[in-house]
Structure 1
Amino acid sequence: MPALDLTASTTELTRQLVDVFSVSGEEAALADAIEAVLRAQPHLEVIRDGDAVVARTRLGRAQRVVIAGHIDTVPVNGNLPARLDDGGATLWGRGTVDMKGGCAVMLALAVELAAPAVDVTWVWYDNEEVDSARNGLGRIARERPELLEADFAILGEPSNGEIEGGCNGTIRVDVTTRGRRAHSARAWMGENAIHAAAPVLERLAAYEAQEVEVDGLVYRESLSAVRISGGVAGNVIPDECTVHVNYRFAPSRSGAEALAHLEQLFAGLPVEIVVADLAEGARPGLDAPLAQQFVAAVGGEARPKYGWTDVARFSALGIPAVNYGPGDPSLAHADDERVPVAQIERVEAGLRRWLTAG
């Protein structure tokens, strides 16, 4: 088991976490290392759930917050071990952005802050980068929801060290047209399902995405064809074609309302619509008193989160939640994944300032 040095700076601790291989499904070694550090802290109660580690204070404070981050990464591609560059200003390597910088900040503060102003439940969880059914935070929410009981939650997803409230929802649907097979030399004897998909693409191309204000933040929606499949052979008129459509919708809509919106968009066309995947969005939750205190302590201006994140899992539990972590989300999963050291330090200072404010 790798030993983590908690006397090092949080940037160095980030490098240590990055250098422990933890591609989704292979997080055990890193979970073991984190658990060992936490069990040595007398002020924390530690619970292991699969390859997720939960640590919480029991101070009897009037309010409790959850601060969570996932420890898995997408596959490595020549970007380990981590390295410092730009005169020590930038840390490069798989997971520096998504999201071991945030996890390192959490670990450093969980050890340091024995008596925060609120009770804190810290969660490092597994399998975020793969199928939602395997998500460690989702597993805890289903099987041990009492571990996530809180008045407010923070997810350490990369947000350039700024607060991003809530998140868009996402729905993927398969829009299928049907036809009749025939030899392509006698095309008039068949019905071409790919040609029949043209009106679907025309409506998508003409669609004007909306900007929707939700609790003071403006979320930008998007609707796109992300894949198209159909065809049998080079000399056969196809009898089926499916346009795979992804709609990122503002958290003012429910998943059911998002589906109804798509059904209305394609109304009148001879298509079948089947939901392939659906994840509800999350409202910003910035009207919660703890959220307002957090924004005041951290500083800056809250922005909307356009992509889907696990804040939606907290929202489903009735817990207002925000994203707050170091790293540019556009560099997540990139081969040149890298995080400015200044962002790691800023997020650490912001969280410490808020958690110690009496």
Structure 2
Amino acid sequence: MNASSECATDAGVSEQEARDLLEALVSTPSVSGEEREACDLLVAFFEDHGREAWLDEVGNVRAPADDAVLLTSHVDTVPGEIPVRVEESGTTSSSRDQGGETAGGDDGDGGPELWGRGSVDATGPLAAMAVAAVNTGVSFVGVVGEETDSRGARHLVTDREAPETLVNGEPSGWDGITLGYRGLLAGRYVATSESGHTSRPQNNAIQDALQWWSRVEAAFEPGEGDEWSPVFEQVTPKPTSVEGGTSDDGLAVEATMDVQFRVPPAMTTDDVRERVERELNGGSVHWHDAIPPVMTSPRTEVARAFRVAIREAGGDPRLLRKTGTADVNLYAEAWDCPMATYGPGDSDLDHAPDERLPLAEFDRSVAVLESVAQTLGGDA
């Protein structure tokens, strides 16, 4: 084992204290680029429990300890205000008052749920990992910027060596283990044409852009017999913004289109890039991000530890593949170590206006993470 710092784990975190940390973090706005207050709260949590913690150059929360396991999740959320409250069976049973106190509630199935931006993606997994790290003495990092440019994860893989094993925090449900994510290719299409009367039959730049995108979509349509293949195994092309019109000097028509492609493990980002560029018709694409897909084995020691822990907690383990992209894609590209993604919450509620997390599920996820950390090398 590689212990990178001394840690004290005798001051364990209780279930209620864990819930308090979760609600405090969800109540602290942490939109990408504005994570500092939430990061400071995490540093204070670790220091209050005898652990060394600090913010690194890009703002990540670093709490190194036993590197047999690195628990890491992202601090940032997408924008969107959802009033933070705890509701049970559709009625408000408790909420954070001005003093920050939270009333208790039933912690069984169907009991209280914490509403708020980030409760699922990914403050729930983040808080569960922080508690498990304190209670088992393993390493922890809370990274910034996952929802935008993954600057926290990109810095992390260049700033430290690979851990022995890694668990990335994203919602999978307390009984789910995510083993695969599609990759991401992102760029901007740019086209320019001479201005002219709209009665002319020749394409202008806007038409070039629209026709190019139609051809791109057709190029990635499932072939005969593949119509029912899972989305995870397909390329998903998606425009994210479009602008076009006459230039300020009136001499040209311009068009730009920001585009993204989700890339399945059967392909590489280079494969997708080449196919997209074959459809060009006068414009050009300027690529600015390429993250490879990842598919890890269900037979690694991390995956086995999760299956055992979930069964011991009364669950039936589910192995998942996600159609999006996460920081674990970057970790898998940079580090040759066993890894999996895990965390409480229903990923269908990611970024949703009704984002909420059952507190009983949060409790179970903490127990599962602690069991996994202990199995892989943390304190028993």
Which band: TM-score by shorter chain? 0.7 to 0.9
Offset of 1:205 from its aligned partner? 4.3
- Residues 290-301 of structure 1: pairs in structure 2 closer than 5 A: 290-298=302-310, 299-301=316-318
Cα deviation, 1:31-84, whole Å, max 9, x if unaligned, reads: 223222323445x453431432222334xxxx712110122223342x243333
Match of 1:140 in 2: 156
Letter in 2 for 1:315: A
Q: Which residue among 319, 325, 348 is the counterpart of 1:308?
A: 325
SS at match of 1:239: strand
Residue aligned with 1:350, SS: helix
- Which residue number in structure 2 is paired with residue 277 of structure 1? 289
Superposition deviation, residue 304 in structure 1 = 0.8
Residues paired across the two proteins, number: 329
**8 A Cα contact 1:158 1:326, kept in partner:** yes
Letter in 1 for 2:122: M
Instruction: State the SS of the aligned residue for 1:17.
Output: helix
Residues 124, 188 of structure 1: alpha-carbon distance in 2 compared, 3 angstrom cutoff: closer
Mapped contact 1:314–1:320 kept (Cα < 8 A): no
| 1:178–1:241 CA contact under 8 A, matched in 2 | yes
In structure 1, distance between residues paired with 2:244 and 2:167: 43
Partner amino acid, structure 1, of 2:62: V
The counterpart of 1:221, out of the listed 218, 222, 235, is 235
Alignment of 1:205-354 (within 5 A): 205-206=217-218, 207-209=220-222, 219-232=233-246, 239-264=253-278, 266=279, 269-298=281-310, 299-317=316-334, 318-354=336-372
Kindly provide the CA deviation profile for residues 233-290 of structure 1, in whole angstroms up to 9, marking residues without a partner as x: 8xx89633344432100134332232123224x16x4442321432222232434333
Would the alpha carbon gap of residues 307 and 343 (structure 1) be closer, same or farther in structure 2, given more than 3 Å must change? same
Equivalent residue, structure 2, for 1:103? 126
Q: Which of 161-170 and 219-228 deviates more?
A: 219-228
* 1:67 partner SS: strand
Provide structure 1 residue ranges, at least 5 long, that are not aligned to the other structure: 115-119, 212-216
Q: Work out whether 1:200 is the aligned partner of 2:218.
A: no
**Partner Cα separation in structure 1 for residue 187 and residue 291 of structure 2:** 12
Displacement after TM superposition at 1:311 (Å): 0.2
Q: Distance in 2 between matches of 1:138 and 1:55?
A: 18
Gaps of 5+ in 2: 1-11, 94-110, 311-315
1:29 aligns with 2:37: yes
Question: How has the CA–CA distance of structure 1 residues 178 and 343 changed in structure 2, closer, same or farther, with 3 Å as cutoff?
Answer: same
**Identity value in percent:** 28
Query: Which residue is 2:187 aligned to?
Result: 173
Q: In structure 1, give the amino acid aligned to 2:86.
A: R
Question: Alpha-carbon deviations, 1:68-127, whole Å to 9, x = none?
Answer: 0122223342x243333326431101221122211221122222224xxxxx32112223
Normalising by the residue count of structure 1, what TM-score does the alignment of the two structures yield? 0.79
Aligned residues: CA RMSD: 3.2
SS of the aligned residue for 1:203 comes to helix
Residue pair 1:11, 1:101 contacting (<8 A) in 2 also: no
- Corresponding residue number in structure 2 for 1:90: 113
The correspondence of residues 4-153 of structure 1 with structure 2, limited to 5 A, is 6-7=13-14, 8-42=16-50, 44-50=51-57, 51-58=59-66, 64-77=68-81, 79-86=82-89, 88-114=111-137, 120-132=138-150, 135-142=151-158, 144-146=159-161, 149-153=162-166
Which whole-Å deviations, capped at 9, do the CAs of 1:294-344 have from their partners, x for residues lacking one?
334335121112111000121122234322111222322233221122321
Cα distance in 1 between the residues matched to 2:87 and 2:195: 59
Aligned AA for 2:77? T
For residues 127 and 30 of structure 2, what CA distance do their matches in structure 1 show?
14
